A = this chain, B = another copy of it.
Amino acid sequence: MRYPEGHKGSVRATIVAKAARALRAGGLAGVSIPALMKAAGLTHGGFYAHFENRDELVSEAVLAAAHETAARVLSPEIGDLDATLDAYLSIGHVEHPEVGCVIAALGTEGRAQSKPVRRAFAEAARGFVRLLETKLHPKSAAGTLSDEAMRLSAQMIGAVVLARLVDDPALAARILNAAKAH
């Protein structure tokens, strides 16, 4: 069929959005192209009309996931630092990695990926610390990162990773609460 203007672009955007979700749920290597396309309501055939290769989609999905979490948890309008900590260090975040922080969901997989994917993770990681910096010190000069922002970023990410691994809801909740101290 002849498709309406901009159709292809919007389809591409939904593929990226659904992939961002599916990859966080199943791991970077755990979801195939057929599965990713099915998540977007399509079959595998059209994939290469939208992306050069699988890594291009993975890279964009990582960035999309990072922006999504930034807007939901780290953006200024969420509230002060405590509001961000409460949202990030929550049971809901631990139980739903598919809509949570991409670093806490896929962080350790980034290192072993191709260069474009590694670049996406690098940008996500730097963006995380940068946003936390502006929450800690709203009037700090752009581009400077305080030790406190780096330390607290590590603490938040590590806490969610640990809480997801211990396989014990009560202990997970204790880890999250312990990580709210700063």
Contact = CB atoms under 8 A, between A and B. Distances in A.
**Chain A: interface secondary structure?**
helix
Interface in A64-110: 97, 103-110
A10 B155 CA distance: 40
A166 B112 contact: no
B178 A151 contact: yes
Copies in the complex: 2
B162 A174 contact: no
Contacts of A27: 29, 108-109, 112
Interface in A26-67: 26-27, 29-30
Contact of A165 (B125, B145, B164, B177): B125
- Interface size class on chain A is 35 or more
B161 A103 contact: yes
A122 interface: yes
Given A118-B167, A119-B167, A151 B181 contact: yes
A8 interface: no
Interface in A144-181: 145, 147-148, 150-151, 153-159, 161-162, 164-168, 171, 174-175, 177-179, 181
A137 interface: no
Given A158-B155, A161-B158, A148 B107 contact: no
Contacts of A104: 108
Given A151-B155, A151-B181, A162 B29 contact: no
